[in-house]
Amino acid sequence: MRRHMGQRIDLRSMTLLWRGLFRLRELVLAAVSCAVITAAPISSVAVSEQQSTPKQYQFTNGRWFDGEGFRRETFYVVNGLLTRTAPARVDEIIDLRDGFVVPPFGEAHNHNVEGAWNIDAVVGRYLEDGVFYVKIPGNIGEFTDRIRSRVNLPTSVDVIFSNGGLTATGGHPAPLYEEVLAGSRYAPHFGPIEKGWFKNRAYFFINNEHDLLEKWKLILSGKPDFIKVFLAHSENVERRKPASVLNVHSGLDPNLLPAIVRKAHGDGLRVSSHVETAEDLRRAVDAGVDEITHIPGWWAPASEDAASARLTEEDADRAVSARVVIVTTAVAGSLMPGHGGHAAQEHQHGDGPVGGHPSIHQPDGKVSARDVMKANLLLLHRKGAQIAIGSDHADTSVAEALYLHDLGIFDNRTLLKLWCESTPKAIFPDRRIGRFQEGYEASFLVLAGNPIERFDHVTKIVFRMKQGHILMNEGENAVFTDP
């Protein structure tokens, strides 16, 4: 139930007719008792099309997550921020009817917010799933430039981009772009793409410090929000092949990484490092990177690769001491066709069904990468490492959160905190998000049930607010309507 200018409003009369990708189009306006209520649909809408100043709200009878559990509180929203102090004017009172209120979720690693060809669909999925904050460590800047006006709005997702990544000549992800994504991802929208077109767009070849100095201005010209680097099998740096193939990766010479980190930090940019083995993680941590974009064990073409991914107690201690953020991507291998996943769709970014992320399940009884990855996560969590949730190439991070839940690594409260507190702060460390405190952004979700008791309640979202703007919900599912 909502009160507006002293009148009772039934949400059942305010139904937004959308369900899925191409039906995010119409906002149905309802008039009840001479009052008209409008709300932003779950899609990317320009700020100019919205109210320039959010209404001032009072939210009653909500059970708000405080990091440990849920407690009843009354919050107000003033100028898009949360406060417990009643303002002089309240435009609208919203009764949350015992709903469970949590901060919005984050996605610390994906590649699906990139181009105009699917931006409405991608934004719609993220907002529908309650994922408001997204990090894209690998994209093509000139495609992303075309959608910048459609993200980072109160009515869209908030996103940061790396605009390419740094690797060695022929290293990952160059073969992926040139041999797979050129045809499967980009050609349907742009036609045939010339070999080598992705160089200095999707990836930059850095083989020595001269390359770094020569190309740094070009890298910065794309205005990246952070720098992405690729390490792969650093333990073989002296004898590895000079180039990747689709199923066997190489990357930067790890000896160059400290210089890259110094350059990036000198320009105020954080550094995220792709890793595959334990030695990759060690070299990245020692070089001073800010984030590790995978748990070692996520990628293992052979059982010996799984063995090389196993972390030691010392590795975990070093990561904790360095305060590096480690992004999970545990679900990445299980989302391939034939494993019950749903990532093999048009928007998928990854080696995919052609290039082939191998299954992390090893039927030959040898070392299982899945078991190594799980052990690594358990170790890092036990040591107190900073962990963020990211899926790599699922529709949204919901798939990653549910997969982690099925692995049984975290209890429900811990997993919820990682997803709605730690992950948003890892993406946007300077913003007041991820908690319900005085002066924090008024962005939250209301769930129909308690996710600490049953984690799948995270998928039962009945109300969404972002920066003081209501994102309309399917009215028939709203818990606020009268029975």
pLDDT, position 349: 38
- 409 and 442, same domain (yes or no): no
Q: φ, ψ for residue 65 (rounded to 5)? A: -75, 125
Q: Determine the 3-state secondary structure of 35 from DSSP.
A: strand
Does some domain include residue 20?
A: yes
- 391 and 439, same domain (yes or no): no
- 286 and 381, same domain (yes or no): yes
- 447 and 336, same domain (yes or no): no
Complete DSSP assignment for 400-412: HHHHHHHHT-S-H
- 447 and 460, same domain (yes or no): yes
- 146 and 288, same domain (yes or no): yes
Q: Determine the 3-state secondary structure of 265 from DSSP.
A: helix
pLDDT, position 37: 24
Extended strands (E) in 142-242: 158-161, 165-167, 203-205, 227-230
- 43 and 168, same domain (yes or no): no
Does some domain include residue 300?
A: yes
pLDDT, position 2: 42
371 vs 365: CA distance, rounded Å: 12
- 331 and 189, same domain (yes or no): yes
pLDDT, position 369: 81
255 vs 234: CA distance, rounded Å: 9
- 358 and 461, same domain (yes or no): no
What average pLDDT values come out for the chain (483 residues) when binned by 10 residues? 35 32 30 28 40 84 98 97 97 97 98 95 97 97 95 97 96 94 94 95 97 98 97 82 69 97 98 96 98 90 80 98 97 54 34 34 59 95 98 96 96 98 98 98 98 98 97 51 34
Answer positive or negative: Cα dihedral of 417, 420, 422, 423: positive
Does some domain include residue 352?
A: yes
346 vs 349: CA distance, rounded Å: 9
Between 209-221 and 257-266, two packed helices, what is the crossing angle to 10 degrees? 40
Residue pair 77/102 in contact by the 8 Å Cβ criterion: no
Domains held by the chain: number: 2
362 vs 372: CA distance, rounded Å: 11
- 21 and 127, same domain (yes or no): no
| Residue range of the domain that includes 83 | 2-103+435-477
Report residue 374 CA to chain centroid gap.
Answer: 20
436 vs 441: CA distance, rounded Å: 8
Distances (CA, A) of 62 to 201, 299, 446, 461, 479: 47, 42, 8, 14, 11
pTM: 0.85
Q: Determine the 3-state secondary structure of 304 from DSSP.
A: helix
Categorise residue 268: left if φ over 0, alpha if ψ from -120 to 50, beta otherwise: left
pLDDT, position 362: 46
Does some domain include residue 482?
A: no
Q: Determine the 3-state secondary structure of 83 from DSSP.
A: strand
- 85 and 117, same domain (yes or no): no
Unique residue bearing structure tokens 């948003």: 424
We report the CATH number of the domain holding residue 284 as 3.20.20.140
Q: φ, ψ for residue 100 (rounded to 5)? A: -100, 115
* DSSP letter assigned to residue 311: P
Does some domain include residue 483?
A: no
Distances (CA, A) of 212 to 45, 105, 117, 209, 259: 39, 36, 33, 5, 8
Q: Alpha helices of 343-397 — where are they, by DSSP H? A: 352-355, 369-383
pLDDT, position 31: 27
Q: φ, ψ for residue 110 (rounded to 5)? A: -160, 175
Q: Which residues contact 117 (CB under 8 A, 6 or more apart)?
A: 189
393 vs 405: CA distance, rounded Å: 18
- 460 and 472, same domain (yes or no): yes
And the tokens for 353? 């069904």
Write out the H or E segment, with its range, that includes residue 398: helix 398-407
Answer positive or negative: Cα dihedral of 98, 102, 104, 110: negative
pLDDT, position 54: 77
We report the CATH number of the domain holding residue 92 as 2.30.40.10
Residues in the chain: 483
